[in-house]
Structure 1
Amino acid sequence: MTTSTFRTGTDAKSPAAKAFAPARTAVERANAVEHQPGDALRALAPNWFAVVMGTGIIANAAATLPLQFPGLRGAATLIWALAAGLLVVLSAAWIAHWRRHPEIARSHGANPVMMQFYGAPPMALMTIGLGTLLLGSDLIGMSAAVAIDWVLWSAGTALGLISACAIPFRMITRHSFDGDAAFGGWLMPVVPPMVSAATGALLIPHTPAGQPRMTLLFACLAMFGLSLIAAFVTITMIWSRLLHHGLPAAGMVATVWIVLGPLGQSVTAAGQLATVAPTALPAREAAGLDVFALLFGVPTWGFAMLWLGLAIAVTWHARKSMSFNMTWWGFTFPLGTCVTGSTVLYAHTGAVLFAVVAVALFALLVTAWAVVAGRTVHDALYGTLLHPVR
């Protein structure tokens, strides 16, 4: 068994910074152009599925946004279709990557930074599955949408449970981490079960009544707890790392936003499960979940808003040293979960506060997505994002 020591640090030369920092000089750009077209697959990694997550969450958030206006649902459907197309393309490219560059593909599972992002593919699957149920049903019918969602949710849940167990196990047995190593990416492997809980809730009404429906509800609740406790432990380590060691390297600052993911998604999951609980549980137990959705959801939402403020402040502080890399997609999906969490709280309370925040955060989400998507396309075409210098 091999053991490696890893640290993130604030040094721009740290392994974490190197894992994502693209080359920027004119010479490096010129070298990148000399690569063969097929070499673009060399740069493909699990973190690219964050593109699907960050795009799909816009569609899902828009579908349930408290403020609905003409054209919003149509635009959301187009975004869902774009995200679904990206999922298909990336999945095919990743298979080709494994066949053409198996050594590089296997190395991602051994890299202490990149292996964290094996949580992205299962979350991408479930994000598109939910969008199919919420928006795709308008185009393909509810029966087909439910069937597709079941397939994507089941595959995403299985892969997510594997990542939630396998990646921490690999961290424990294969690597030795310094005190400043914790970063937002450590949450990626343990968040998928929370996404399973939030998205699986919408499948409960489409599950046969009785034991099957109850089983799915309790499975979602169990995954909610699995992910929540692991996330809270990890967030504590990230908070401690920031206080004791300061900001991460400039190339990793965007990962601070990932903390918003389990916070917003847990609020969403609690609310969604409480909404569908009456279809699967006796009235008393269902009422208990409804109370829990508020007693848990509102305080957690409050902490999410605190972290959002810190994330914005940290990003603004480091803005001049932050060159674009794929961690910027951390600005999107985690923020989107805060939109859906605020929307769920509004649905359960009727408090206008949550509706206003949901709409404001949605506007911020769309702005962040436009910037990050634009930079991704630009660097994929003209930079070294797909043709890194070897």
Structure 2
Amino acid sequence: MPCPDTPAPHTVANPRNLPLSTLSHPREEIRQFTPNWFAATMGTGILALTLGQLPVQIPGLHLLAEGLWLFNIGLFVLFSMVYMARWVLFFNEARRVFGHSTVSMFFGTIPMGLATIINGFLFFGLPRWGGAVVPIAETLWWLDVAMALACGLAIPFMMFTRQEHNIDQMTAVWLLPVVAAEVAAASGGLLAPHLADASAQFSVLITSYVLWAFSVPVAFSILSILLLRMALHKLPHENMAASSWLALGPIGTGALGMLLMGADAPAIFAANGLPKLGEIADGIGLVAGITLWGFGLWWMLMAVLITVRYLRTGIPFNLGWWGFTFPLGVYALATLKLAARLHLTFFSLAGCALVCCLTILWLIVMSRTVRGAYKGELFVSPCIAGLGAGGK
């Protein structure tokens, strides 16, 4: 059954503003844990990857990026354990998430957070531990694919059958379960050339193209609805201010995916008897990457204008602020990839500027998250906000 209506649906706040140690029960933080927290692993992971790929030589920067990636693995493991504990200890309440029109969307953050860890194994793990990390990355990638496909199908199906939605309440949060598949596609493009077997490379690459097509057209359909919604009903409530940046996510990831898959397509297709098709895929990937980058530029500038407007009245902090980070990060990675392919100074400078902005945003959001978690302000599940503190 759908969850009861609650104000600011993905704002998670402890009305008593008390430290976790003073909550009514030591297990309360587990009971109130939601998938929203995995957005922090998305933002942290994408920052690690962007810092590691800056085209400038700064002493200690790569080591800092690698440390941030390891920290992100710890976050993901911790959040996974807490969320699984919630399902074991509070099953009847945990399952109510599927009826919630906003919180359920954040299931997509779980495979997307995992994707940043997989990419880190290839970018940081290979130089550190050698080829032994490739089977780990491959196994995790297929798990990521399964979760992304499940989110991309199950959550929209529940939107159609179980949840209550209105066009005037629609936000870019609708994109989260859909975009997970194209994030997996970009990771597959990065993984494929590292596999030893030519047939395995081909399977991963073709699967990645399917994942891209599974996600991007649906995401762009949602973007079209979002444009209409904002034209007719104006901006969402200030609690959803960060959602204006989520639209940049599928565009930046779509561009990055086409660039990554196309870059190694000639060698992989040639090894499987399709050399001409590989050259075509490379060209299409580059042109699509440039085109989508331009589309993303419009959305990014619009998101900046929208955010400035929100700032006039103030934006209350919630876990949705992590929506500022990952979309900007994937757009920055696409920019840096274009710089490497085209050798244009403009893209290099733009990529560095975007990474600097991402770093500042991450520091702000992470510090506010740590503070909010300590005070207990971020541990309330909207689905059970009206229930008693101790019940299951």
Q: Answer yes or no: same fold by TM over 0.5.
A: yes
Question: How much identity, in percent, do the aligned residues show?
Answer: 32
Residue 390 of structure 2 corresponds to none
Helix, strand or coil for the counterpart of 1:155? helix
Distance 2:7 2:133 in 1: 39
Distance across 1 between alignment mates of 2:309 and 2:66 = 36
1:301 aligns with one of 287, 293, 296: 293
1:355 positional shift: 0.9
How much has 1:70 moved relative to structure 2? 1.8
Q: C-alpha deviations, 1:206-244, integer Å up to 9, x for none?
A: 334443322221111111111110110011111111111
What's the counterpart of residue 153 of structure 1? 141
- 1:18 alignment partner, SS class: coil
Letter in 1 for 2:125: G
Report the counterpart of residue 374 of structure 1 in structure 2: 367
Matched positions, count: 377
Which of 69, 73, 79 aligns to 1:80? It is: 69
Structure-2 change in CA distance of 1:177 and 1:104 (3 Å): same
Give the counterpart letter for 2:66 in structure 1. Answer: T
TM-score, normalised relative to structure 1: 0.91
Paired residue type of 2:310: A
Query: Cα distance 1:16–1:215, how it changes in 2: closer, same or farther (>3 A)?
Result: farther
Q: 1:172 aligns with which of 149, 154, 160?
A: 160
> What's the CA shift for 1:294?
2.7
Q: Which moved more, 1:57-66 or 1:239-248?
A: 57-66
Correspondences of 1:186-197 after superposition (within 5 Å): 186-197=174-185
Confirm whether residue 332 of structure 1 aligns to residue 325 of structure 2: yes
1:56 aligns with 2:45: yes
Q: Does the CA-based 8 Å contact 1:185-1:255 persist in structure 2?
A: yes
Displacement of 1:72: 1.1
Alpha-carbon separation, structure 2, partners of 1:213 and 1:233 = 31
Q: What pairs up with 1:28-107 in 2 under 5 angstroms?
A: 28-30=16-18, 33-107=22-96
| Displacement of 1:175 | 2.9
List per-residue Cα deviations over 1:277-319 (Å, max 9, x = no partner): 1221134222212221232111211121111111111111112
Select the residue among 111, 124, 142 that pairs with 2:100: 111
What are the within-5 Å matches in structure 2 for residues 357-368 of structure 1? 357-368=350-361
Closer, same or farther: CA 136–31 of 1 in aligned 2, 3 Å: closer
Alignment partner for residue 132 of structure 2, among 120, 134, 144?
A: 144
Taking the aligned partners of 2:7 and 2:303, their CA distance within structure 1 comes to 19
- Out of 329-338 and 378-387, give the one that drifted further: 378-387
Q: Is the 8 A contact 2:269 2:277 kept in 1?
A: yes
Q: More deviation in 340-349 or 130-139?
A: 130-139
Do the aligned partners of residues 280 and 154 (structure 1) sit closer, same or farther apart at CA in structure 2, a change above 3 Å counting? Answer: same
Please state if 1:199 is matched with 2:192. Answer: no
Match of 2:276 in 1: 284
Deviations 1:1-50 (A, max 9, x none): x6x699xxxxxxx74613315256xxx22597342232111221111111
Counterpart selection for 1:341 from 304, 326, 334: 334
* C-alpha spacing 1:381/1:315, structure 2 compared with 1 (3 Å): same
**Are the aligned partners of 2:266 and 2:282 in contact in 1 as well (CA < 8 Å)?**
no
What displacement does 1:94 show? 1.0
10, 21, 45: which one aligns with 1:19? 10
Alignment CA distance shift 1:222-1:216 (3 Å): same
User: Could you tell me which residue of structure 1 aligns to residue 228 of structure 2?
Assistant: 240
Superposed CA offset, 1:81-120 (max 9, x none):
1101101111111111111121221011111111111111
C-alpha separation in 2, matches of 1:199 and 1:186 = 22
The DSSP-based 3-state class of the residue aligned with 1:321 is coil
The residue that corresponds to 1:11 in the other structure is none
What is the RMSD computed on CA atoms of the aligned residues?
2.0
- Mean CA deviation greater in 167-176 or 238-247: 167-176
Q: Which residue of 2 aligns with 1:314?
A: 306
Give the gaps of 5 or more residues in structure 2: 387-392
Greater displacement, 30-39 / 371-380: 30-39
Per the alignment, do residues 358 and 153 of structure 1 end up closer, same or farther by CA in structure 2, a change over 3 Å counting? same
- For structure 1, which runs of at least 5 residues remain unmatched after alignment? 7-13
Query: How does the TM-score come out when normalised to structure 2?
Result: 0.91
Give CA-to-partner distance per residue, 1:337-357, whole Å, 9 cap, x none.
011110111122111111111
CA gap of 1:254–1:299, structure 2 versus 1, over 3 A, is: same
Query: CA contact under 8 A between 1:80 and 1:128: conserved in structure 2?
Result: yes
Residue pair 2:169, 2:236 contacting (<8 A) in 1 also: no
| SS of 1:247 mapped into structure 2 | coil
**C-alpha distance 138-150 of structure 1, shift in aligned 2 (>3 A):** same
The separation in 1 between residues aligned to 2:353 and 2:93, in whole angstroms, is 41
Range moving further from structure 2, 64-73 or 43-52: 64-73
> Is the 1:270–1:293 contact (alpha carbons within 8 Å) kept by the matching residues of 2?
yes
207, 226, 245: which one pairs with 1:257? 245
Q: Which moved more, 1:258-267 or 1:279-288?
A: 279-288
